[in-house]
Structure 1
């Protein structure tokens, strides 16, 4: 294995990781920020309120994006 081939394989692997994981991570980030803003406005500081919406929305995005992954 030449160094050029190793670099090419690593670059393709990182591109694949970003392509597959990016939408899920971006969705979790957006939902987390929205839920945190709602918690700040209503002054509710319950930790489980951030986990459950993120879990549900990320699962939904995963199911919707599954044919492309």
Structure 2
């Protein structure tokens, strides 16, 4: 394994993480912005108000995109196992 192979594995790992976690993080961000806007408009400054909607949104998004996330992780795992089997 040389430097190019190591960089390729790291690049693919980071890309897989971004693809797998992206939908859940985006949902949490959008819900957080929406709740912050509601809090700013109504002047309700309850710190715990943001947690429950974010958790629900992340769970719903994970339920809807779970197969996509799993397929991305599975493809990366198969690629790594293939590299290990072939000796990189």
TM-score bracket, shorter-length normalisation: over 0.9
Q: Normalising by structure 2, report the TM-score.
A: 0.76
Q: Which runs of 5+ in 2 are unaligned?
A: 70-88
Structure 1 CA distance for aligned equivalents of residues 5 and 13 of structure 2: 12
Kindly tell me the number of residue pairs found equivalent between the two proteins.
Answer: 69
Note the aligned Cα RMSD (angstroms).
Answer: 0.6
User: Could you tell me how far 1:50 is from its partner in structure 2?
Assistant: 0.6
Structure 1 CA distance for aligned equivalents of residues 3 and 67 of structure 2: 34
Asked which structure has the greater RCO (Cα within 8 Å, sep 6+), the reply is 2
Structure 1 CA distance for aligned equivalents of residues 63 and 23 of structure 2: 12
User: Could you tell me how far 1:63 is from its partner in structure 2?
Assistant: 0.6
- Structure 2 equivalent of residue 30 of structure 1: 30
Q: Normalising by structure 1, report the TM-score.
A: 0.96
Q: Which runs of 5+ in 1 are unaligned?
A: none
Please say which structure displays the higher CA radius of gyration. 2
1:1-20 equivalence runs, <5 A: 1-20=1-20
* Runs of 4+ residues deviating >4 angstroms: none
